[in-house]
Amino acid sequence: MTALAVHHLTVEYRRHGGGRLRAVDDLSFELEPGETLALVGESGSGKSTVVRALSRFVKPQQGRIELDGGRNPHEYRRRLQLVFQDPFASLNPMHTVRHHVARPLKRHRRAQGRQDLETRILDLLTSVNLTPADEVARKYPHELSGGQRQRVAIARALATEPRVLLADEPVSMLDVSIRLEILNLLDRLKRERDLALLYVTHDLATARHFAKDIMVLYRGEVVERGPSDAVILDPAHPYTRILADAAPDPQARRGAPTTASRALPRPAERREASLDTGCKFRARCPFAMAKCAEHPPALPVGGDPRHTARCWLLAPE
Ligand code: ADP
Ligand code: MG
């Protein structure tokens, strides 16, 4: 049973100088309970806009979002929770850890009376390895490390017993040494609680390790998607190949980016004007051809219908 289904989501922002920027373009996907889907792409590709639309902070121009059991807005907020990038900004410096975790428990009536509330707070803190929980509960954010704050943010998200968890670059602001601990924690909680997890990241190595499937976003559009190993080890879209070549994955790819990816124009240099139609990547693409002025459909890669890429190179003659 699908926990969250997104159909043809399109989100536009007003540009400063007038006109509109399409930050998410016709995006469809599903999240399954107990599984992680990674949304990867470089900065500005629209990842956080997807999260904002799913959490109803921005209103989509088009599309439909269906959350299992979440028709009513209060229930939607209960069933879909977030973990943000910045553990320093996401906690209120004026309040204790207890307060942060108690709030969603009270708001969504997850506790029966004072004693039950206290038990639940301590259980949640213990489940994210913040122990001794009663000591941690009395602390203020400034008394915690970045990793501990992110654990509080995770405990708070779990308080409402969500079905879907959206984690937007949850470790990119943490010390490298504790990133894996936090990702392992999310992975364990996902399994224990049968959560549907959307893992937003620009890091292909952890996407491959923690997610069952990967979607690669380029300028608001999914250019490639499929089982994680297939997308990372056998990328079909030229953009995914560049990302994979640049990724510091010690297992799969060693050393510096390839000559091909170094020779490519950087995002700032790309010509945008003529890209209203056709493949959005073609100004940066080493394989661009005349056909690329037409918008490519999602085509199967290597005979696997679960692995698709939006590239004319995959089209039979
Ligand atoms: P990512 O999370 O992948 O870095 P974002 O979703 O934050 O990407 O941004 C996607 C695009 O939308 C970027 O070009 C960004 O500059 C633009 N953008 C994001 N937020 C706004 C906003 N509030 N108003 C206008 N443009 C925005
Ligand atoms: Mg972002």
For atom 24 of ligand 1, which residue has the closest CA?
13
Residue of 13, 198, 199 to mutate, ligand 1, most atoms within 8 A of C-beta: 13
Residue 230 pLDDT: 96
Q: What is the pLDDT of residues 60-110, one digit of tens each?
A: 999 999 999 989 999 999 999 999 999 889 899 999 999 999 999 999 999
- 44 touches ligand 1 (CB under 6 Å): yes
Q: Give me ligand 1 centre to Cα 255, in Å.
A: 31
Rounded to the nearest angstrom, the distance between the alpha carbon of 272 and the centre of ligand 1 is 16
Model pLDDT for residues 105-132, shown as the tens digit of each residue: 999 999 999 999 999 999 999 999 999 9
Contact between 141 and 151 under an 8 Å Cβ cutoff? The reply is no
Predicted confidence band of residue 163 (pLDDT cuts 50, 70, 90): very high
Taken in order 263, 280, 57, 33, is the CA torsion positive or negative? negative
Predicted confidence (pLDDT) per residue in 225-277, tens digit: 999 999 999 999 999 999 998 876 555 444 434 434 444 445 544 444 445 68
| DSSP assignment letter at 37 | E
Ligand nearest to the CA of 86: 2
Ligand 1, atom 23: nearest CA belongs to which residue? 13
Contact present, 236 and 248 (Cβ < 8 Å)? no
Return left, alpha or beta for 209; rule: phi > 0 is left, psi -120 to 50 is alpha, else beta.
alpha
Answer whether 48 contacts ligand 1 (Cβ < 6 A).
yes
Q: CA 192 to CA 210: how far, in whole Å?
A: 15
For atom 14 of ligand 1, the residue with the nearest CA is 44
Residue range 204-226: mean pLDDT, rounded: 97
Instruction: State whether the beta carbon of 226 lies less than 6 angstroms from ligand 1.
Output: no
| Interval 292-300 mean pLDDT | 95
Q: What is the pLDDT of residues 176-195, one digit of tens each?
A: 999 999 999 999 999 999 99
pLDDT at 268: 45
pLDDT of residue 245: 87
Q: Does the predicted TM-score (pTM) go above 0.75?
A: yes
What pLDDT sits at residue 282?
A: 95
pLDDT at 251: 52
Structure tokens at 18: 């007038």
pLDDT over 70 at 216, yes or no: yes
Ligand 1 atom 25, closest CA: 13
Which residue among 49, 50, 172, 200 has the greatest number of ligand 1 atoms within 8 angstroms of its CB, and so is best to mutate? 49
pLDDT at 309 over 90: yes
Question: Which ligand is located closest to the Cα atom of residue 17?
Answer: 1
Asked if residue 23 lies in contact with residue 13, where contact means CB atoms within 8 angstroms, the answer is: yes
Closest ligand 1 atom to the C-alpha of 220? Answer: 10
Q: Which atom of ligand 1 is nearest to the CA of 45?
A: 3
291 C-beta neighbours (distance < 10 Å), count:
13
